[in-house]
Each structure stands twice: as structure tokens, then as C-alpha cells.
Structure 1
Amino acid sequence: EFWTIDARLLKRGGTSFEASLVSINGDRKKPEITDEKSATDIVSDLEGGSFRVSGFETKETRRRPAAPFITSSLQQEASRRLRFSASRTMTLAQQLYEGIEIVGSEQVGLITYMRTDSTSVSASALSETADYVKQKFGSTYCPEKPRQYSRKVQGAQEAHEAVRPTSVFRTPESLRANLERDQYRLYDLIWKRMVASQMVDALYDRTVIDSEIKGVSSDIPYIFRATGSVPKFDGFRILYTEGRDDVSGEEDEERGLPQLKVGEPLLCNGIESEQNFSQPPPRFTEATLIKNLENEGIGRPSTYASIIGTIQDRDYVRRDRGRFIPTKLGLVVTEFLTEYFRDIMDIGFTADMEKRLDEIAEGLIKWNPMLLEFFEPFDTSIGAAKEKAKRVERSRLDEESDQVCEQCERPMVIRGGRNGRFIACTGFPDCKNTKPLTIGVGCPECKIGELAERKSKRGIFFGCTNYPNCKFAVNSKPMTQPCPDCSGLLIQGRGSNARCASKECGFRGQVEDGDSSGGARSDEYREVAS
């Protein structure tokens, strides 16, 4: 638990701005207010006091464009911006790399090889990009010399260029008629990233205002600080800005602050304290998981998608609001492996193995001794696990439900199977009663069945229990409340966002109980494969 104290200040006749308490009695360290009484005492001490400007500074800051894509950054950005899974991104990139038939021309490869650790770009591509920027945006947007990017990735194999368009003069708009919707969206992302990487910095005026007030009863000085930045020159941001995962609230807001002078008095529209709680690190999204794999030296550009696909296919994790949540099965498997294969479960083991395999490929070490060194302790661990490990109880894998078996009146639980999760009686094998895992939403097509969670090779979807008579299905989790515009089926988006499943309606917006399993594909409707 911690408390923050904010003041709403304004210049006489001007607009108000918010400032936060950052110092008490000259202490440079931000005050730690751990309980309500301390916060209330400070607010009481400040009531009736007068603010004055104790510091005002405005300076120019720069923001550099991001480097051209490598495999991992492409997968991360496609996840953030386009909601593509890593495997979907690589499938589309493969199509763009192999070539697309252009009207009036032969099949043309539109991007360079998409499995790469390198941010380097050929001299000819840099020259072509500079020419395009000058023609399209003017010389003020083109740097004096080409930008060079270096990328430190553990175990990087920089045999290829960055992922970029084969020609920046093939603009996304000129190819729209030749590309499928998702191909176009990914090509647009790659193209903009490459062009923006060879544009000038964006410029901002960053302002910091310190305001001092003395405690009415204590006479102790308190400092409140407001920060903001105002765009001065858009630079590369005229074309592209990089997406972010978990944005810190401490980052400067793009907001204007008034021009003030040191010593100038300020009016106060109120001082408020707010209770906060420290939060654990956020769960991984697909983008942040790939970033972590890359930072830890686990996997290769060609394996990130399969790693993420495997942990979902085996039901070790599920998505909720776009983030990975471990399942009971995943927790049990992790606990088992950590107990009997501690060395292998160590993050450093995988990274070290990748490094040693690279050394074998480069001829620096021989493969026989290296494999023997690994196999002997591994074989010992397998023997110990076979001898000591106990069979995992089914109850540790089952998820509770509120349903009771109508055949034997025993409680029913949620279990996982080849075709997805389902409801099963705890009396198995004496009672073999099972049910689909319905979500409390009726089928909008046949009006008879309910929508239930299903699993296919393409992932989890929600289909009608009246199948095969009704083949209605959606790829994202439906919501219990109807669409506010047409009363049709409402589909969860990310966070509190939702959208109507009907393309004719087209509703998109925020709803109070919105939830998301993430990873929705672009096509909302599809028939269940028979």
C-alpha cells in the first residue's frame, strides 16, 4: 500500500494543470507515504497554504525512430498492432517473401527473408529509401546520412538483412488490390517501419514545473512537480510510431503546460490524496513473451512461433484479455519438471545449450563430448523420476464447476480433452456423463443450441451445441450481454472493448464487463469443420 498526493494548480486567468508531491523538507527522494493517516496529515498541513513557482525549465528532447524489423520485433509489433499470433505473422510474412502476383507483372517477392537477427540494411536499399523520403516528405525529413542500427541479441546469427520491403517504391496503397486483407496490413507495417527508420528524429519541448508550498502548521516546504511535453517537429512520427506493451504512468504525457516564471504565485483548486497498491509484474502477452525469450537467449527467430503455439496446444496456458494465464495442467507439469529436472528447467540451461550448439556449428567444439556431458546426468534424472515420482491426482487437474450430474447427483468438473474442455462427472468411470462447456450464450442462428468452447487445429473457438444441424461458430469469446445497437451477438475484444459479430451492424466500443481471450482472427464467422 502507498499513497500519492496531487494538487490542481493554475495561473490566474489560465488553464489548470496537475502536479504531484515529489519532495518534503528538501529531501530529493520521493516521499514514501504508506498509510492513510500520514496522507491525511500532509493534506491537512497544506490546507490554506500558498503555492509559488520554484522551478521552471523547458528544453528540447528527441525521439529516435525504431530500427527496421528483425523476426522477434516483427512478431511483437504485429501482436500489439494487428493482434496477429506469432505463427500467423510468420505465415503471412512467408507469403510476402515467396512472392505475390502483381497485375500486369510476374510474381514478385515483396519483402526480404523474414527469419533474421540483423537490423542491417543494404546500401542500395538505404539510398532508395532516402530518395523516397525526399520525394514524399521533403528533404527536412531525411537525415544527412543513412541511419545505422546495431542490435545486441544473445546468440544472434546475422546472416540476413533486416525484414524490409524489396522496394520502398512499392507502397502499400499501390499493392492493395493485389494483397489479401491481412497480407496488406502486415506489408503496410513492414513498409512503414523501414521508411520511418530512415527519417529524422521527432522533436519535443519538455517542460518541468516545480511548485513550492509551506506547511501551514509545520512550516516545512513541500515540492509538487508537473511534467509535460509538446510536439515541436513530427519527424518520423508523421508516418509511424512504435507500439508499446505496458506503458508506465511515470512517462511524460504529451500535454502542454503554461509558461510561468520562478516566484510567480499559483492558485490551487484542491489537493487530493489517493490510495494505491504495488502491482506484481503483468502477465505475458505474446509480444512481451517473445521479447523475454529473445532477452534470455531462448530459441531462435524460427522457433518463437512454435514455442508459443506448443504451450497453447498442450493447454499449459490460455489467453485472457490478451495475456497468458497458466492452467492447472501447466502448473502441475512445471512443478513436476522443476522437482525432478531442475537443471533443465533453469532458464540459463536453454540459453547455454543454444550457445554450445552454435559452437558445434562453427566447429569450435566437438558434438560427441558435449552430448555425452548432457546425457549422463539427464539419464540419471529420468531414472530418479521413474523411481520416486507419484502419479498426479486427477483432482489437481480438474477445474471446479457449479453443476451437478443429473444421472448420479455427484458434482461435475471441467476437464480438458482432445477437442477442448468439457464438463464431466467426478464419478467416472462409474458414471460417464459429460456435457459441452457452454458459456451461457444462446446460438443466434438456430435459437436452439448454446455456444460452447471447442478446440480445433486452429485453436479455441465457440460453436453451437446443435452441431451438425447448426454450424454457427465464432473465434472470439461471445459476451452474455447483447449488442447495444442491434441486440445481436457481442464479441469480446481486448480490455473493455467489444464488437458486434454482425458485419452489417459494425458496432465497436467499450462495455463495462468486457473481457478478452485475445488472438482473434480477422474473420468473425466460419463454419465448423465437419
Structure 2
Amino acid sequence: STYAPTISTIIDRGYVERDQKSIKPTALGTVVTDLMIDQFNNIVDEKFSAAMERNLDKIEEGKADWVKTLDKFYKDFAKTLKKAEENLDGQRLKVPEEETDVVCELCGKRMVIKTGRYGKFLACPGFPDCRNTKRIVVETPGKCPKCGGKVLLRRSQKGRIFYACEKGAECGFMSWDEPTADLCPTCGSSLFKKKGKSPYEYCLKDGCGYKKDIEK
């Protein structure tokens, strides 16, 4: 029941990225995973997850007290966390930079992909002499229901993902729901996916109203 929210979270934080119907780790995700294995090996261990699942089942069945269960977990975790903080004191993890074919128009160097607070972006490797940065354009399989243009993945100032037409203010279309490669059987427009406990695909074309529930 927590699988879908977990996947959404690690995608939003830049630890993994979609690769068609699969997901693959990013450079940031690989660095963080290596750190977790090195400093929190008892937490990322499969045996720990299995034991925690059993304890949660006992709580649900009324066979264990949730306060005592979490108290025991946190006491052990606090010791591990303190040790990791001591080991990593003053250290900064370096995420490998990925060179691109995009040329910085200010200095001529090939720009690299960096990961910031709100995800990936292009930056000039000539920093601090050159401070040029750009947003990475991420295309989705969907088409704009208003003008037929490409729908791009964007991030708000608070880091929330949304989807907008490539023509920006000229068109004005945006949606918080993810566009899909599926087409509406009624009008042929791209379908968008509404997530939640009862997910469904629906059409945003004015006057259409098509909707299809997604089988779990």
C-alpha cells in the first residue's frame, strides 16, 4: 500500500528517473544508496524490513503496543544516526557531473547536469567565472489538449511537479496530473492520469469528458 507513494517520492527527489516503463537510479541516487549501505547497513537490510513488517502486523492485530515498538526502533536508530553524523562530520558528498552536448552560450564550455533542491538543471562547469544555468526540458509522451503542442514536465518554486504546454503563456495549459501515451477513444486527445486510491485516466479536451478507471 506504500509502494506507489514511495516511488513518487524518490522520483520527485531525484534519486531515480523513469526509463520508459521502468525506473533507474540517478547519479545522486547511487551516491545516496552507497552512503546508506555504508552508514546504515542495518536499516537497509532486507531482514530489517521483514522484521518491521511483522511488527507492524502485530500492532494492527492488537498483539503489540505501537509506542513500545517505535520506541525500541528509535533508540537503536538514534545510536546509528549519531555514529553516522560523527563519521561524516565536515564531509560533503560529491555527485558525479554528467557532461551534455549543450554548449554554454556565454563561454563555450559544454554544460553539465547538476542536482539541486528542485531537481536537475544545466550548469556551466566554468563556475565561478561563468554562472550560466538552464532548466532541463523534460518532454512527456502527452500532447497539449488545447493546441496539440508538446507537454513538458516542470517544477514549481516549491519543488512540486506539474505539466505545461511548451508554448508557455501563449497557450496557457497546465495540469498537476501526469500526461500519458494513451489516446482518448472519443476525441483522440492525450489522456491524463489522476493518482490516488482510485486512479483513473481522463481527457482534458474541452467538451469531451472521457474517463476510464485504472485497474489495480
**Residue 427 of structure 1: how far off its partner (Å):** 3.0
Structure 1: how far apart are the matches of 2:129 and 2:11? 31
| Aligned residues of 1:421 and 1:453 also touching (Cα < 8 A) | no
Q: 1:358 to 1:433 in 2, by over 3 A?
A: same
**Residue 321 of structure 1: how far off its partner (Å):** 1.8
**Residue 424 of structure 1: how far off its partner (Å):** 2.0
Task: Specify the alignment match of 1:461 in structure 2.
Answer: 163
Structure 2: how far apart are the matches of 1:349 and 1:384? 19
**Residue 463 of structure 1: how far off its partner (Å):** 3.4
| TM-score scaled by length of structure 2 | 0.64
Task: Specify the alignment match of 1:322 in structure 2.
Answer: 21
**Residue 360 of structure 1: how far off its partner (Å):** 4.0
Between stretches 410-419 and 377-386, larger displacement belongs to 410-419
| Aligned residues of 2:17 and 2:25 also touching (Cα < 8 A) | yes
| Aligned residues of 2:151 and 2:163 also touching (Cα < 8 A) | no
Structure 2: how far apart are the matches of 1:417 and 1:471? 27
- Note the alpha carbon deviations across 1:59-111, whole angstroms, 9 max, x for none: xxxxxxxxxxxxxxxxxxxxxxxxxxxxxxxxxxxxxxxxxxxxxxxxxxxxx
Of 7, 32, 41, 1:333 maps to: 32
Work out which of the two has the higher radius of gyration on C-alpha atoms and give 1 or 2: 1
Of 17, 42, 67, 1:343 maps to: 42
Structure 1: how far apart are the matches of 2:52 and 2:102? 47
Structure 2: how far apart are the matches of 1:338 and 1:460? 33
Q: 1:380 to 1:429 in 2, by over 3 A?
A: farther
1 or 2, which has the higher strand percentage? 2
**Residue 345 of structure 1: how far off its partner (Å):** 0.4
**TM alignment of 1:121-270, pairs within 5 A:** none
| Aligned residues of 1:420 and 1:460 also touching (Cα < 8 A) | no
Unaligned ranges ≥5, structure 1: 1-300, 477-491, 509-518
Structure 1: how far apart are the matches of 2:150 and 2:57? 53
Task: Specify the alignment match of 2:102 in structure 1.
Answer: 403
Structure 1: how far apart are the matches of 2:81 and 2:94? 20
Aligned-residue sequence identity (percent) comes to 38
1:385 aligns with 2:65: no
**Residue 342 of structure 1: how far off its partner (Å):** 0.7
Structure 1: how far apart are the matches of 2:30 and 2:74? 26
| Aligned residues of 2:162 and 2:174 also touching (Cα < 8 A) | no
**Partner amino acid for 2:154?**
R
1:358 aligns with 2:57: yes
RMSD: 4.2
Structure 2: how far apart are the matches of 1:419 and 1:354? 32
| Aligned residues of 2:124 and 2:130 also touching (Cα < 8 A) | yes
**Residue 365 of structure 1: how far off its partner (Å):** 4.2
- Note the alpha carbon deviations across 1:392-437, whole angstroms, 9 max, x for none: 114x2x4331112111233212234565543222234443312232
| Aligned residues of 1:472 and 1:525 also touching (Cα < 8 A) | no
- Note the alpha carbon deviations across 1:123-168, whole angstroms, 9 max, x for none: xxxxxxxxxxxxxxxxxxxxxxxxxxxxxxxxxxxxxxxxxxxxxx
**Residue 347 of structure 1: how far off its partner (Å):** 2.1
Structure 2: how far apart are the matches of 1:318 and 1:426? 23
